[in-house]
Structure 1
Amino acid sequence: MSRRCELTGKGPLSGYNSSHANNKTKRRYLPNLNDVTLQSQTLGRGVKLRICSSALRTVDHRGGLDAFLAKAKDSELSPNALKVKREIAKAQAAEA
């Protein structure tokens, strides 16, 4: 399982630990990933995703999963999230 957010594409960064004596050792900064089930109003079901906490706040801010995916770039989304985005677009087109 990759350490990458399925909605924002945020992944690990690299840097250094710095001791008091200013010795540097390599380290990785990992994103704060959580397994969550987000509800889609259009599909009427929950969608399981592995997203970072900042993405979860952004989903709430934009008004839910459907609104977030409508604005999201396809290049940042995981294949699983892209599939959900297409399902939502198809369901919304069928309603209209």
Structure 2
Amino acid sequence: MSKNCIITKKKPMFGNNRSHALNATKKKFLPNLQYHKFWSEKKKRFIRIKISNKGIRTIEKKGIEFFIEKIIKKGK
């Protein structure tokens, strides 16, 4: 499964890991993704999504119904 957040569009970043001697080795910075269940009043069921920690806070502020409608409109 992808390591992308569907709400905030966060994805892995690439960079260098620097030692004290300034040796550079490649490193992958992963977003803080969690599985979370949200209750949808319209569908009367839980929706389980893989989302970043910032995305969880955004959904708690605006509501899951707002993002469900936004994703459906984007798909059309």
TM-score, length-scaled by structure 2: 0.82
- State how far apart, in whole Å, the 2-side matches of 1:16 and 1:53 are: 24
CA RMSD of aligned residues (A): 1.7
What is the percent sequence identity of the aligned residues? 34
Unaligned runs of 5+ in 1: 73-81, 87-96
From the two aligned structures, give the one with the greater strand fraction. Answer: 2
Is 2:65 the partner of 1:66? yes
Q: How many residues align?
A: 73
From the two aligned structures, give the one with the greater helix fraction. Answer: 1
Q: Which runs of 4+ in 1 moved over 6 A?
A: none
Give the partner amino acid of 1:39. W
Give the aligned partner of residue 50 of structure 1. 50
Unaligned runs of 5+ in 2: none
TM-score, length-scaled by structure 1: 0.67
